[in-house]
Structure 1
């Protein structure tokens, strides 16, 4: 069946690419190695339970919360290249 400009399975390819990008981004943000004993931001001691739960942690809970609030969500973009998006 003809599907216009998109190849068969293009929608699923778009979904798969979006998921792969999100997984790659999440993996790149994981901490690695040994946890720090003191926060890299404020210098306060990091709780032992936090260091055991999150290998490679570098920030205390308060500073990590502030850093999480500052990080902006990544905006999505149109992978399909639909006719409508090309006319704009």
Structure 2
């Protein structure tokens, strides 16, 4: 017998699955190599970051700002 908690859990899981699928569909194609300079501010991207995160296009500061803006708009 299915109770209301199971139904609510299924609805939440369905919403999460849909949100993740939308995010993956909108994700840009990862470049084969990282950019040498930030796409936003044109500052150089440190080599350690470029090696650790393949395909990065933003410096650490611009990436943080970008993520905060995305989180704010996701609400």
**In which range does the TM-score fall when normalised by the shorter chain?**
0.5 to 0.7
Q: Over aligned residues, Cα RMSD in angstroms?
A: 2.8
Q: Which runs of 4+ in 1 moved over 6 A?
A: none
Which ranges of structure 1 fall in alignment gaps of 5 or more residues?
76-88
Per the alignment, do residues 2 and 20 of structure 1 end up closer, same or farther by CA in structure 2, a change over 3 Å counting?
closer
| TM-score between the two structures when normalised by the length of structure 1 | 0.59
Higher relative contact order (CA 8 A, sep 6+): 1
| TM-score between the two structures when normalised by the length of structure 2 | 0.66
Asked which structure has the greater CA Rg, the reply is: 1
Q: How does 1:20-39 map to 2 (within 5 A)?
A: 20-27=17-24, 28-29=26-27, 32-33=30-31, 34-39=33-38
What is the aligned length? 71
